[in-house]
Structure 1
Amino acid sequence: MIRRLARRWFGIVLWKRILAALVLGAIAGFFIGDASQQIKWIGDLFIRMIKMLIVPLVFVTLVSGVTAMKDPKRLGSIGGKAIALYLGTTFCAIVIGIVLALILRPGVGIDLSGAEATTLDSAGSLTDRLMGIVPENPFAAFAEGNVLAVIFFAILVGTGLILTAERGKPLADVFDAGSELMLKVTAIVMEFAPFGVFALVAWVMGTVGPATFLNVFLLAVGVYVGCFLHMLIVHGGIVKLFARLPVMPFYRGVREPQLVAYSTSSSSATLPATLSAAEHNLGISAPVASSVLPLGATVNMDGTALYVAMISIFAAQAFGVPLGIYEYALIGFTTTLVSIGTASVPSASLFLMAAVLDVIGMTSAQTAIVVGFILPFDRILDMMRTVANVTGDLAVATVVSVWEKDLDPETYNALPTE
C-alpha cells in the first residue's frame, strides 16, 4: 500500500505537486486562521534546507562553470551581456509600474492616519555594500551567506584554475564532480518542497489573510497585474526577439522555480530550483547558468523595481505630493541605480522605497508612515515580486546562453513529462 502511494506521489511531476500544495495551503490557512502558525515550522525547515544549499551550490557550480569556459575573456562577455539585460528589464519594470499607478491611482482617497510609523535600520551606504562584494575572509563570507562575496571569490578561483592549465585539471575535475553532486542534493531537497510550500502559504493566508489584502486592493491588483504583464511582455519578449526562441517552452520550463519563489519570497532561496530548471528544462549551458543566475538572484530586482515605482506614486497620491516628468524620471533612474546595490539586503524593497521617496521630496516622517502602512501585507505582494525576479533571471540566462551559442535546443523544446 505504502509503495503504491509512493509510486503515485513520485509519478506526479514536481511542479504539479507544488501547485497543488500551494492551493491547498491557501485554503487550509483561510479556514484555520492563526492556528496555521503551528505548522509554520515545516515551511521554516524547508527554507533552512534550501538556504543550506545556496553557498556551496553557488560556489561549486560557479567555479565549475568558469573553468568550463576555458577563457577568462568569455566570463567578461557573459557578465557584461547579463548585466546589460538585467538593467534593461529592471527599467522596463519601472515603466510598467509607473504607468499602472497612473492608471489605477491606488493612493487617491487612502487614509494613512491610522498607520503606525515604522523606521528602518540603516542598510549602509552604497559604497559599503559594493565594498562588501570583496570579502576580507572568504570563509566568513561563506558562513554569513554573502552571495555576492561568494560569487566574487568563486570567479577568482575559477579564473585561477583556467590559468594553471593542466596542473589545475585535477582540482577542476573535483569542482565539476562537486557541481553534479550539488545538483543531485538539490533534487533531493526539492522533493520536500510541496510540504514546505503548503505550510508557508497556509501561514501567510492564516495570519495575513485576504481581509488585510483587500485594504489596499488597487495597489495589490496593480502589483500582481504589473508583474504578470512584465513576465508576459518583457521576459517573453526578450526570449522571442533576442533569443529567437518560442516562448511557450520557456514558460513551461520556469513553472517549478516560480512556484518555489511564490512560497518562499526569496530569489536566493529559490536559486537551487532556478539552477535545476535552467539545466534540465531550458537547456542553458552550465557556464552561463552558474554565472548569470547567482548574479541575477542578488542584483536583478524586476518585481521589486516595479513595486517600488508603484509605491512611490501611491505615496505621492496619498499625501497629495505633485509629480511631474522630472520626478517620474527621478523615480526610474534612482530605482534602477539603487537596486543594483540593495538586492542582497533583507527587506530590500523597503530600503529601495525609502531611497526613492527621499529623492521625490517626501519627508522621513511620511516615509515612515508609508512603510508602516505597507508592512502588514507586504509579504503577499513580495511573493509575486519574487516570481517576477526569478522569471527575469531565467529569461536573461536563456538569452545569454543563445548569444553564447551554448543553449541545447532539444532540451529547451522538449515536451514536459506528464
Structure 2
Amino acid sequence: MLKRWFEIALWKRVLGALVLGIIVGSLWGKGAESISLIGEIFLRLIRMVIVPLIFLTLISGVIAMGDPKKLGSIGIRTLSMYIGTTAVAITIGLIVATIISPGVGVDISGATPKETSDAKSLADILRGIIPENPIQAFADANVLAVIFFSLLFGIGILLAGEKGKPMANVFDSGAEVIIKVTGIVMEFAPFGVFALIAKVTGTQGVAALLGVVPFALSFVIAVLLQIFLVHGAIISFLLKLPPVRFFKGILDAQMVAFSTSSSSATLPVTISVAEHNLGIKPTIAGSVLPLGSTINMDGTAIYVGIAAIFSAQVFGIDLSFADYLLIAFSTTLVSIGTAGIPSASLFLLAAVLEPIGITPDNTALIVGFLFAFDRPLDMLRTVVNITGDLSVSSAVAKWEGELDEETFKAQPVE
C-alpha cells in the first residue's frame, strides 16, 4: 500500500489532497480546525529548510560558474544575458501584478493583516545585508544577509583555486543533500495541504480558494510576455533569426520541462534540441546550458515577484518605489541559487518577503496557501526557464561563431 502511494506523482497526491480537503472542509465546517495542527507542522517544516536551502544551493550555483569552460568571453556574455533576462522577467512580473492586484480582497486563513516586522528604511535594509555575525544571520533567518554571505563564500571558494576544490565538493554534496531533505518535506505536502485547505474551506467557504485565480492569471500573462515578447525579440531583432523556427525547434524541450517541472531533469533534452534543431555547437551547448539550468530562472523571477506583490496586498502593506527595487534586487540575487527541482521557488519566497516586512509566520502561510495550487504554475515556470536557456545559448553561439544557421533555419529533427 505504501509503495503504491509513493509511486503516484507528488503533484497528483497534492491535487487529490486539495480536492479531499475542500470536500471535508465543506462537510465538517468549523470542525475542520481540529486538524489544523497537521497544517502547522507542514508550515514549520517549510520554514525549517528555507535558510539552509538558500545557503547551500546558492554557494553551489556560484561554484558552478567557476568551471573553466564557462569563463572568458563566453562566460561574460552568458552571465550578462542570463542576469539581464532575469531582471526583465522580474520587471514584467511586478508590472503585471501591480496592474491586476491579485492579492486585494484575498483572505488567507490564519493571516493577520498588518502583522509585519518592524519597518526599516532602505539604508537600514542595505546595511543589514552585510552580517556582523553570519551565524547570527542564520539564527535570525536574515535571508538577505545569508544570501550576501553565501555569494561571498562561493566567490572565496573559486578564488582559492585548487585548495578550494575540497570545500567546493563539500558544498556541491551539501546542495544535493538539502535538495533531498526538501524532497522529504515535500512528501508531507499532501497531508499539510489537506489540513490547510480543509480549514480554509470549513471556516471561510469554498469561495476563499478563488483568491488564487487572479494570482494565476497574473502569472500566465507575465509568462507569455516573457516567452514571446522578450525571448522572441532576442531571436528576431538581436540575432536576426526567424523566431517561429526557434519556437518550433525547442518544443520538445518545452514539453519535457512542462511535464517534469525540473530544469535539471530537462537538461539532456535541452542540449539535444540545441545541437540538432538550433545548430548550436557542443562547445556552447555543453557549457552555457548547464550553467543556465543553475542560474537562469526567469520563471522563478516572475513568480516570486508576483507572489511578493500578492503577499503585500494580502497583508495590507503599501509598497514604496524603494520596496519594488528591493524586491527586484533580492529576486535577481536569489534566482542564482534556485534548485532545478519542482516547487523550489516557493521555498525562496522568504528572501523577498522578509525585507519588505512580512514575518516568517505569514511567509509560511503564503507558501502553504500557494503550494496547493503550485504544480501547474511550476510547470509553466520551468517552460520559461528552458526557453530562456535556449534563447541565451543561441545568442552566445552566434556571437562566438558557433551557430550553424542552416541547421537553425531547417525543419526540426523529429
Q: Shared fold (TM-score greater than 0.5)?
A: yes
Aligned with 1:110: secondary structure? coil
Q: Are 1:125 and 2:146 counterparts?
A: yes
Q: Distance in 1 between matches of 2:250 and 2:166?
A: 36
Q: Is this contact kept in 1: 2:262–2:341, CA < 8 A?
A: no
Give 1:402 shift. Answer: 0.4
Q: Are 1:328 and 2:324 counterparts?
A: yes
What residue in structure 2 maps to residue 54 of structure 1?
A: none
Give 1:329 shift. Answer: 1.1
* Amino acid paired to 1:125: V
Q: Are 1:79 and 2:53 counterparts?
A: no
Structure 2 unaligned runs (5+)?
Answer: 1-11, 18-63, 113-137, 159-164, 178-189, 198-205
* Amino acid paired to 2:248: R
Q: Distance in 2 between matches of 1:317 and 1:240?
A: 37
Q: Is this contact kept in 2: 1:293–1:393, CA < 8 A?
A: yes
Task: Select the residue among 286, 289, 305 that pairs with 1:293.
Answer: 289
Give 1:130 shift. Answer: 6.5
Q: CA RMSD in A?
A: 3.6
Aligned with 1:384: secondary structure? helix
| Matches for 1:51-130 after TM superposition, within 5 Å | 75-113=71-109, 125-126=146-147, 127-128=149-150
CA deviations 1:39-90 (Å, max 9, x no partner) are: xxxxxxxxxxxxxxxxxxxxxxx9xxx9xxxxx7994110110100001100
| Matches for 1:4-403 after TM superposition, within 5 Å | 75-113=71-109, 125-126=146-147, 127-128=149-150, 131=153, 135-136=165-166, 215-343=211-339, 347-403=343-399
- TM-score normalised over the length of structure 1: 0.62
Task: Give the 3 Å change call, closer, same or farther, for CA 408–106 of structure 1 in structure 2.
Answer: same
Give 1:136 shift. Answer: 1.7
The structure 1 segments of at least 4 consecutive aligned residues displaced by more than 6 Å after TM superposition are 120-124, 137-145
Give 1:345 shift. Answer: 7.8
Task: Give the 3 Å change call, closer, same or farther, for CA 323–289 of structure 1 in structure 2.
Answer: same
CA deviations 1:258-287 (Å, max 9, x no partner) are: 111111111111101100010011001111
* Amino acid paired to 1:294: P
Q: Distance in 1 between matches of 2:73 and 2:397?
A: 11
Give 1:386 shift. Answer: 0.7
CA deviations 1:292-323 (Å, max 9, x no partner) are: 00000001110000000000000111111001
Aligned with 1:406: secondary structure? coil
CA deviations 1:26-45 (Å, max 9, x no partner) are: xxx89x968xxxxxxxxxxx
Q: Is this contact kept in 1: 2:106–2:211, CA < 8 A?
A: no
Task: Give the 3 Å change call, closer, same or farther, for CA 296–276 of structure 1 in structure 2.
Answer: same
Aligned with 1:99: secondary structure? helix
* Amino acid paired to 1:311: A
Q: Distance in 2 between matches of 1:275 and 1:240?
A: 21
Give 1:241 shift. Answer: 2.3
* Amino acid paired to 2:259: S
* Amino acid paired to 1:222: S
CA deviations 1:83-109 (Å, max 9, x no partner) are: 000011001111110111111111011
After the TM superposition, which of the residue ranges 333-342 and 376-385 deviates more from structure 2?
333-342
Q: Is this contact kept in 2: 1:300–1:343, CA < 8 A?
A: no
* Amino acid paired to 1:260: V
Q: Is this contact kept in 2: 1:267–1:390, CA < 8 A?
A: yes
* Amino acid paired to 2:166: E
Give 1:288 shift. Answer: 0.8
CA deviations 1:216-237 (Å, max 9, x no partner) are: 1111111122111100011111
Give 1:352 shift. Answer: 2.8
Give 1:252 shift. Answer: 0.6
Aligned with 1:109: secondary structure? coil
Q: Is this contact kept in 2: 1:350–1:371, CA < 8 A?
A: yes
Aligned with 1:233: secondary structure? helix
Q: Is this contact kept in 2: 1:275–1:289, CA < 8 A?
A: yes
Q: Distance in 1 between matches of 2:254 and 2:86?
A: 18
Task: Give the 3 Å change call, closer, same or farther, for CA 370–142 of structure 1 in structure 2.
Answer: closer
Task: Give the 3 Å change call, closer, same or farther, for CA 416–73 of structure 1 in structure 2.
Answer: closer
Give 1:214 shift. Answer: 5.2
